[in-house]
Structure 1
Amino acid sequence: MSDNNKWKSLLGIANRARKITSGEELVIKEVRSNRAKLVIIAADASNNTMKKVTDKASYYKVPVKTVSDRYELGNAIGKDARVVVAVTDAGFANKLKTLM
Structure 2
Amino acid sequence: MRWYLVRTGKNNLTSLPRDFSAEMPLLRSVTVEHNQIKTFHPDTFAPLTLNEANRVRFIGNPLHCDCKLTFALQYPPSWLNAQCETPQALKDQPLK
TM-score by length of 1: 0.31
- Higher relative contact order (CA closer than 8 Å, sequence separation 6+): 1
TM-score (norm. length: structure 2): 0.32
- The structure having more radius of gyration, on CA atoms, is 2
